[in-house]
Amino acid sequence: MNKAQLVEAIADKVGGRQQAADAVDAVLDAIVRAVVNGDRVSVTGFGSFEKVDRPARYARNPQTGERVRVKKTSVPRFRAGQGFKDLVSGSKKLPKNDVAVKKAPKGSLSGGSSTRTTVKKAVAAKKATAKKAVAAKKATPAKKAVAAKKATPAKKATAVKKAAAAKKTTAKKAAPAKKATAKKATAKKTAPAKKAVAKKAPAKKATARKTTAKKATARKK
C-alpha cells in the first residue's frame, strides 16, 4: 500500500478524498517534524517513532570487503507497540467493525492538550527570563556610566581641595623659613657695617687728640 492507496482507504471515513489526503499529510508532517527535533512520537497500540544517534564506526564494503569508516549520524526508528505485534503475530484477531489500533483512553487527549499548554507556558517563561536578562545587561553599563560620571566630579573636587590644602601647608612652612633667611641676610649685612663704624671711631679719637695737642703747644708759645 502506498500513500495514494492509504488515502483511498480512509477517504470514506473522513468525508472525502481531499480531506483524507490532508489528514495523512498532516499526520506524517507532524511525526517527521517531531522526530527531527528529537522528540518521541508514541501512539498507543501502534508504536513509537524516535531519533537514534549512531556513533562513528568502521564497516565493511559488501562488494569489495574493504574496511570503511562511517561517520556519526542520526537515523529515525520505529518500534511497534505490543498491540500491533499481537495482531501481526496472530495472537489477536483484527476487529471487523472497529479500528485495529486501540483507542486512546479517556482523558488522555485532554492530557495532551494540557501538556501543550504547559510547554507553551514554559517557553513563554523562558522568553520572559531571556528578555529580563537582556534588559539587565543593557541597564548595567548605563548605571555604571552614570555612577562613573557622578563620581568623577567628586573625585576632581576632592583632588582640588587636597591640592589647595597642600599649597597652603607648603606656604605656611615656607614663610618662617623665608623670614629666618631674611633675618640672617640682614644680620650678615649689618655686621660688617658695625665693624666698619667701630674701626672709624678710633680714627676720630686720634684726630681729637692731635687737635688738643696743637692747642696746648700754641698756648705754651
Q: Report how far residue 23's alpha carbon sits from residue 14's, in angstroms, rounded to the nearest whole number.
A: 8
Position 114 scores a pLDDT of 41
- 75-124, pLDDT tens digit by residue? 999 999 999 999 999 988 888 877 887 666 666 555 444 444 444 555 56
Task: Report the residue count for the chain.
Answer: 221
Q: Is 46 in contact with 83 (CB distance < 8 Å)?
A: yes
DSSP the chain: --HHHHHHHHHHHHTSHHHHHHHHHHHHHHHHHHHHTT--EEETTTEEEEEEEE--EEEE-TTT--EEEE--EEEEEEEE-HHHHHHHHTSSPPPSSS-SSPPPPTTHHHHHHHHHHHHHHHHHHHHHHHHHHHHHHHHHHHHHHHHHHHHHHHHHHHHHHHHHHHHHHHHHHHHHHHHHHHHHHHHHHHHHHHHHHHHHHHHHHHHHHHHHHHHHHHHH-
**CATH class of residue range 3-109:** few secondary structures
Position 150 scores a pLDDT of 56
Query: 3-23: string of b/e by CB count within 10 Å (b at 16+)?
Result: eeeebeeebeeeeeeeebbeb
Instruction: Say what the pTM is.
Output: 0.46
Of residues 182 and 128, more confidently modeled: 128
Sign of CA dihedral 155, 158, 160, 163: negative
Residue 141's CB is within 10 A of a number of other CB atoms, namely: 9
Of residues 158 and 113, more confidently modeled: 158
- 35-81, pLDDT tens digit by residue? 999 999 999 989 999 999 999 999 999 999 999 999 999 999 999 99
Query: 179-205: string of b/e by CB count within 10 Å (b at 16+)?
Result: eeeeeeeeeeeeeeeeeeeeeeeeeee
The mean-pLDDT minimum among 49-58, 63-72, 151-160, 207-216 falls in 151-160
Position 137 scores a pLDDT of 63
Mean pLDDT across the chain? 74
